[in-house]
A and B are shown apart, each in its own frame.
Chain A
């Protein structure tokens, strides 16, 4: 059959697409901030915490990083309620994204911390600073500078992953796209438009991260092309 593209139905559903885009942005932004916070705490625990805590964080990181996000979503949305924990779709999606994103960001921040020479910690200890103060004042600022580029890429992946949350009825952009295609039977038009929106979001986010890097840390961190 000759497939004729008709973007009219998609244009009519522009409000739905806009709402979906906004939720995608909100889900992504909130989960980026939360997973950065979890990452800093987790990376501190993973590098300077007691052995049992290091073990727990390591197990969490391995468990999340070696199973698919889709299955984690199913577990949270369909599995947890059978144990009595009910979350509405958007909250479930946010929690899943933070849980998933943190496992990756913890590892990135940890690598950043470990890239700082051990001599600095020893010197600061000799000066009588506490472990927490050393972490906060000396290690973290330097580590963050190194980790901005990999964190940026990871955050963009996190944003793109939010598309999978459509399966648990979170109303983000991919869900809006699926709604439109199921109603109008115009799947290709809907998917092409959505892909274009995601591409713009990715480009905007990577521009934003590059700007953060430039303004917060002056020159681009070492090792970046």
Chain B
């Protein structure tokens, strides 16, 4: 059994970049999936709405941990070999898409219906109507809860440790196995997450307050 040294703390800090990268990619992937789900969920076509509802129910109704297991290995099961990075990002993106889809659906629905009717009356088709009229207004409402969700996403990347992906939690686990100093090691790991998440939490709250004031006026 070896002693804990400063190099080990450096090892943890270096592992934090995998947490950051994983969160970043998952946020982008989840954003793409989420946008599709939100648009389907608010669509006028019943089939699209139903697909979106079923998707959201499944991904919000089962544990992320099981989803990660199934997606991480699912690609190879259906004959599409994906590397560990792609599978991990895919797993988090599919899950994040369900939550972001619901958040953004609310934002889209917060845009007064009259505006959509007016845009239709002006002869704007779906794409320009969404891009020029609905989404810019929905964006304002969507930003605070989206930033709040990114905090959840960063924390949830810790579950990648259980499927064997080395990020900051798994690095902490490996280090603890070698040195058995759980309190110090997981304390440092917690601090790393806190430093990553807290500024976003504060930002989300500030944005929310600003939005509340703006809509009150």
Contacts and interface: CB of A to CB of B under 8 A. Distances in A.
A68 interface: yes
B159 A191 contact: no
Interface in B55-107: 57-58, 60-67, 69-70, 73, 77
Given A3-B77, A164-B159, A79 B70 contact: no
B70 A163 contact: no
B70 A156 contact: no
Interface string A180-223: 00000001100110110011001100000000000000000000
Interface residues of A, number: 36
A124 to B, nearest CB: 25
B217 to A, nearest CB: 18
B179 interface: no
A198 B69 CA distance: 15
Contacts of A156: 60-61
B77 to A, nearest CB: 6
Interface stretch (A36-44, A69-77, A136-144): A69-77
B170 to A, nearest CB: 10
B66 A194 contact: yes
Contacts of B146: none
Contacts of B69: 187, 191
A202 B201 contact: no
Nearest to A200: B61
B11 interface: no
Contact of A63 (B73, B109, B161, B194): B194
Nearest to A157: B60
A173 to B, nearest CB: 9
Contact of B57 (A163, A188, A194, A199): A199
B165 interface: no
Interface in A36-95: 62-63, 65-72, 74-75, 78-79, 82-83
B193 A67 contact: yes
A174 interface: yes
A167 B66 contact: no
A160 interface: yes
Contact of A65 (B77, B190, B201): B201
A74 B184 CA distance: 12
Contact of A78 (B67, B158, B159, B186): B186
Secondary structure dominating the interface of A: helix
Nearest to A199: B61
A218 to B, nearest CB: 24
Contacts of B63: 160-161, 163-164, 174, 195, 198
B88 to A, nearest CB: 15
A69 B70 contact: no
A195 to B, nearest CB: 4
Given A63-B194, A199-B58, A82 B183 contact: yes
Contacts of A70: 158-159, 161-162, 169
Nearest to B159: A70
Interface in B172-202: 172-173, 176, 181-183, 186-187, 189-190, 193-194, 197-198, 201
Interface in A144-160: 156, 160
A152 to B, nearest CB: 12
B70 A202 contact: no
Nearest to B154: A68
A79 B183 contact: yes
Contacts of A3: 77
Interface of A: 3, 62-63, 65-72, 74-75, 78-79, 82-83, 156, 160-161, 163-164, 167, 174, 177, 187-188, 191-192, 194-195, 198-199, 202-203, 225
Closest 4 CB pairs of A and B: A202-B61, A163-B63, A68-B158, A66-B197
Given A3-B77, A66-B201, A67-B155, 19 more contacts: A65-B197, A66-B193, A67-B193, A67-B197, A68-B169, A70-B161, A70-B162, A71-B190, A72-B190, A74-B182, A78-B186, A83-B183, A160-B62, A163-B66, A174-B65, A188-B70, A195-B62, A198-B66, A203-B61
